[in-house]
Structure formats: structure tokens, C-alpha cells
A and B are shown apart, each in its own frame.
Chain A
Amino acid sequence: MRLRLLYARSRGTPRAGLALVGLCVAGAWAGRWLVARPALEPDTARLPVTVALALAVAVVVSGTLHSAADDLERTTPRNWAAWRAGHAAAAALVAVVAVLPVLPAAVHGQQALLRNTIGLLGLALLTAAALGPRLCWTVPLGYTATVYLAGSPDPGAGRPVWAFLLQPAPSALALLTALSLLVAGSAAWAAHARHRR
């Protein structure tokens, strides 16, 4: 247990936890503010929150993947692949629990926020495996910024897959895409440890 606590503290989890709370409070306020705008449709008004908050939460949570003493840790006789897989699973769980109460159920509400959070976290894990944890935010940020203007909530032309962030909550294909990204990201991040040892 002590080792797990030390591991968590070495990844800056207390600071990430505080940041998560702040982000989720700000997200809840932003959701209410947007719905109160008379020019916006109540069902779609929260779309910016489901995208921006998911990105911010994924960035903060994936920030805990970085270790200041990574090479030193690798010299210890531990199954680091299992530790990394556990870390990815715990990060996903914490992110989901954090965003769960932020938005109410709607076409672009709670479900869409949950889906986007796990999808972007999966993308961050994939990036961390490929480029290292320091740059794990780059691909999620670039993808989100591009898709937000280039994509559309309308289904068609593969959008539930490549623009899963913007899809309405009932889109099963968008949910499947996000889950696939999380599974692939977790596996890549765990395998990355085995590969480097």
C-alpha cells in the first residue's frame, strides 16, 4: 500500500486531483451559463463543454503518467507493465468519476462528456506510448482543435468515428470509437513499459 501511495505521489496526483475539482466546478458553471443563453438550443448548448472539459480532464489526468525518475524505477524488480496498466485503468476511473456529476443527461450532456473524456484519455495514452508522457497532450489537443471546426454532429461520411467528439450521446459508433481508443491506449502504454525494460 505504501508503495502505491509513493507511486501516486511521485506522479503529482494531489495537484492533478485539485486541478480536476477546479475544472469540473468550472465546467458545471459553464454548462449552466450556456443553457441560459437565449440564442442557443438547450439540447446542443453544452457541446463546447463536452469537448473542452473532456480535453482538459484528459490532459490533467494523463499528466500523471510522467515520472521524474522513470529510468530508476525501471531498474526495480517489479512488473511495470501491470503497474502501468493499473495506472491507466485508475486514471480512466478517476476521470469518469470526476466528470460524472458535471452535466445533466441531454443530447450533448453527461453521456457525451463521459465518452469524450475516455476517448481523449485513450488518445493521450496512445500519444504517451509513442512520444513519451511529456508530450502526451499534443495529439489530443491537435485532434480536438481540428475536429471542432472541421467536424459536424451530423452522422455520415464516417463522422461517428473520426469526429466522435461532436456526436450526440445516443451514437453507439462514437461510444465504440472512444472505448476502442481507451483500450488501445491502455494496452500501448502498458506494452511500452515491457518494451523499454
Chain B
Amino acid sequence: MRRALGIELRRGVGIWTALPLTVALALTVLAHPREWAGDWYGWAYYLRTSLIAFGPLVVAAAAWQGGRESRRGLTELLSSASRPALSRAWVSFASPAAWALAALVTVASAMAAVTASHTSYGRPPVLLALSAAAAVLMLASVGFVVGRLAPWRATAPLLAVAVYVGMAVLTYAQSGRQYLSPGLDLFSGYVPAPWWAPLSAAMFLALGVAALLLLADGRRWWAAPALGLAILAAVPIASTGQDAFTADEAGEQLVCARGDPEVCLTRRHADQLPRVAAVVQAVLAGLDTPGPVVEQRVGPGLPDQTGTLNTLYLGADLSGSADLEVVRQDAAQRAVAWNCDGFPSPSDDSLSIATYELADWARERPRPPYGGALQGRTPQQALSLIKQFATAASHCDLAAARALLATPP
């Protein structure tokens, strides 16, 4: 058995797919480093997100392996062997499953090394990462069984498309059922209930075992208890949906940097505070903007979020830095922040245009001559105008704002 397993691992389809799978997964995660590189929950969640691309490839590789014996005309020969069908299937299944798992573990380890070097908060949620590994095993199992039962050449790619479509349908359905999908797009500001990740992993494993047991000659009913377990695990996940996720209270606590104005980020992005504070304070220098300038937060009972720093761009990229260009833009919008009954813009197009022009000036601080609302002004006069305009905007005083723009320098 061990010898057969070793041969299968070295000579099966799996070893040929290991490198392409690793490259595909690596390219996928390298395209969006800001979603995982600076945050442990981001790391674990992105392993699940990457299954949207990785999952169909695993299914295709396993289906190709599953159909191998039939394509090679070996079915009759192998059925005459003394070893039970399930045992033979298990050895054959091990090849694509083990190599797909190896690809996931390789990329996940590299991602973890990057995350560990950038993050300043929390620990790796290992159970969530294990749920991604369990999902890979389930996908390999389902692919293998379908490939064994329908050994046509087109089975592997069409099954991959079907899995991709199935995951898309679950996602776009926007109900609790989307959390049953192996490939999930989750936001790292929320954390799951303690039971969610183990139950998710158990559901995938039970489903994978149930699929493999369908190949047990004469004992296919063994699949029923495994399928029952998978359904039992799926029910709480689907019925609770997003309610199983709550704001990460510890991670959402603010850490602040003193200065003019004070800048506060959540603990999840505290490692970015020195460079983000420097950028924000440079944009708002001399404008007397009331502080603090805070990061957007999630969860109930939080105050109005206008004029905050966009949390999606505060995660580290591979070099360890937040997207400082977006931070600069957010800070510039904060320089002239309207507050009209909760709306962050005035009901007057000319004032909206002037607001953009003034915010652009605060962001870039260019040399004169200026156009538009700042025409004919010196940098000092521009600074003075923005301060007065921001005061009018904060009270939604449209008349005062218009008067300021009409006043010659």
C-alpha cells in the first residue's frame, strides 16, 4: 500500500500539476497583497478567497486523474486485483490531493512570512487556514469521483467551469448559503464566531469523504452518514450567514499619533501609523483642521464615517506600506469636509467643483499661478481661503461659501 502510494505520488497526474497550481495561486495572491500582507485575518480570509481561482484548477486536475484508468483501458484489469476498489481509489486520489495541498501550503507559508513581517496585531487564525485546506481536499475528492464516474476528456475542464459557476451562484445569491462556498470574499474587520472555522472545515471534510465513499463497491451507503454530517455542519453556517461574523473589537480599537491634527488608525493597521500620520499632517498643514483624523471602522454604534481614512487602502503591500496616494486623497477631502444633514457634499454644483479644486490644492500644494476658485491668489491667500471655506462647509453654510469664492483676493 505504501509503495503504491509512493509510486502514485511520484508518477501520477498530481506531480505535473503541482508547479502550475503553485504558480497560479501565487500570481493570484501577488495581485492583491494589500488584502492579506499586513493582517492575520486578511491572510486567512484571502486563502479562502483565492479558492475562487484555485478551486476549479484543483477539481480539473483531480478529475483528470480520476478518469485516467478508464482512458488507459485499465478498468477491467484493475477490477481483477485483490485490493478493494476503495483502497485503489484512495491511492489514486492521493496524488492530485496531496500535490494541490502542497501548492496551497507552499503559497500560504510564503504569505504568512510576509504577513508576519508587516503586521503589528493578532495571531494567525490557524483554524480558518485549515478550513481552506479542507476545502481543497473536498474539491479534489469531488473532482476525482466525477472524473472516475464520467471519464471523458471534456469532464475535467467542464467540471472546473461548473465549480466556478457554482461558487459564483452561491456568492451572487447573497444569502447565508454563500458561506457554504469554498471560495469566499471576506472582510478582515469582522471575525467569525469560534465555531465557524472548525464547522466549515468539518463540512468540507465530510463532503469529501462522502464523495470518495461513493466508490466503495457494495458499500456505497457508507457515504450517507458522511453526507449527513456535512449537512449537519452546513445548516448553522447557512442559517447564521453574516451574523456569525462580528466586528473585531480588539482590532478596531484606535491607536493615535499626536500632531496637527491627531491621526488615529485601528490596531489592525497600527504599524502604518507613523507614515500615514506624516502624510495626513503634511496635507492638512496650516489648515487648522479639527482632529482627530481616524480610520473607517466597522461595527454598530460607531459615529459618522465621513472624512475618514479608507480602511481598504491602509493594509500593507509587499513592501510593507499602505497606499499613501489614497491616504493623501482622503486627507485632502478632509481639508474641505461638508456636513449637510449627513451628506458629505453641497447641493450646489459650483460649490462641489470649488471643493474639488481646493482639496486638490491642499493635496498637491502647487506653485502659483492658479486657476478656478484660486485664480489670482498667492499660496498664503489660498490657505486662508481654504480655512474659511472649510468652516462654512462644516456648517453647510452655502451662502457664506459662495460669498468667499466671490470675494476678490
Known: A145-B53, A150-B27. A52 touches B157 (CB 8 A): no
Which residues of the partner chain B approach A142 to less than 8 Å between Cβ atoms?
20, 24, 57
Q: How far, in Å, is B4 (CB) from chain A's closest CB?
A: 25
Asked if B28 and A149 sit within 8 Å, CB to CB, the answer is yes
Asked if B161 and A150 sit within 8 Å, CB to CB, the answer is no
Asked if A141 and B160 sit within 8 Å, CB to CB, the answer is yes
B153 within 8 A of A: yes
Which residues of the partner chain B approach A145 to less than 8 Å between Cβ atoms?
24, 53-54, 56-57, 160, 164
User: In the bound complex, how far is the Cα of B27 from the Cα of A66, in angstroms?
Assistant: 31
Asked if A52 and B164 sit within 8 Å, CB to CB, the answer is yes
For A, the interface residue count at a CB cutoff of 8 angstroms equals: 26
In residues 22-41 of chain B, which contact A (Cβ within 8 Å)?
24, 27-28, 30-32
Asked if B165 and A149 sit within 8 Å, CB to CB, the answer is no
Query: Of B50, B60, B165, which one neighbours A30 at CB under 8 angstroms?
Result: B165
A153 within 8 A of B: no
Q: How far, in Å, is B46 (CB) from chain A's closest CB?
A: 10
Q: How far, in Å, is B204 (CB) from chain A's closest CB?
A: 19
User: In the bound complex, how far is the Cα of B57 from the Cα of A142, in angstroms?
Assistant: 7
A109 within 8 A of B: no
* CB-based nearest B residue for A134: B153
Asked if B31 and A151 sit within 8 Å, CB to CB, the answer is yes
Query: Of A37, A39, A56, which one neighbours B158 at CB under 8 angstroms?
Result: A56
A59 within 8 A of B: yes
Tell which of A39, A48, A60, A150 has the most Cβ of chain B within 10 Å: A150
Query: Of B52, B156, B157, B161, which one neighbours A149 at CB under 8 angstroms?
Result: B52
Which residues of the partner chain A approach B30 to less than 8 Å between Cβ atoms?
150
* CB-based nearest B residue for A140: B157
B404 within 8 A of A: no
B174 within 8 A of A: yes
Asked if A141 and B57 sit within 8 Å, CB to CB, the answer is yes
Known: A52-B165, A141-B56, A150-B30. A40 touches B172 (CB 8 A): yes
Query: Of A48, A134, A151, which one neighbours B168 at CB under 8 angstroms?
Result: A48
Asked if A66 and B153 sit within 8 Å, CB to CB, the answer is yes
Which residues of the partner chain B approach A48 to less than 8 Å between Cβ atoms?
165, 168
Which residues of the partner chain B approach A134 to less than 8 Å between Cβ atoms?
153
B154 within 8 A of A: yes
Interface string of A28-52 (1 = CB under 8 A from B): 0010001001011000000010001
Asked if A149 and B50 sit within 8 Å, CB to CB, the answer is yes
A171 within 8 A of B: no
Q: How far, in Å, is A65 (CB) from chain B's closest CB?
A: 10
Asked if B24 and A59 sit within 8 Å, CB to CB, the answer is no
Asked if A137 and B172 sit within 8 Å, CB to CB, the answer is no
Asked if A148 and B53 sit within 8 Å, CB to CB, the answer is yes
Query: Of B27, B54, B60, B153, which one neighbours A63 at CB under 8 angstroms?
Result: B153
User: In the bound complex, how far is the Cα of B172 from the Cα of A55, in angstroms?
Assistant: 20
Interface string of B309-325 (1 = CB under 8 A from A): 00000000000000000
Asked if A56 and B161 sit within 8 Å, CB to CB, the answer is yes
Which residues of the partner chain B approach A34 to less than 8 Å between Cβ atoms?
172
A residues near B (Cβ < 8 Å) are 19, 30, 34, 37, 39-40, 48, 52, 55-56, 59-60, 63, 66, 134, 137-138, 140-142, 145-146, 148-151
B residues near A (Cβ < 8 Å) are 20, 24, 27-28, 30-32, 49-50, 52-54, 56-57, 60, 153-154, 156-158, 160-161, 164-165, 168, 172, 174
Instruction: Report, nearest first, the 10 A-B pairs whose CB atoms are least far apart.
Output: A150-B31, A137-B157, A59-B157, A149-B53, A145-B53, A146-B24, A149-B28, A56-B161, A63-B154, A150-B27
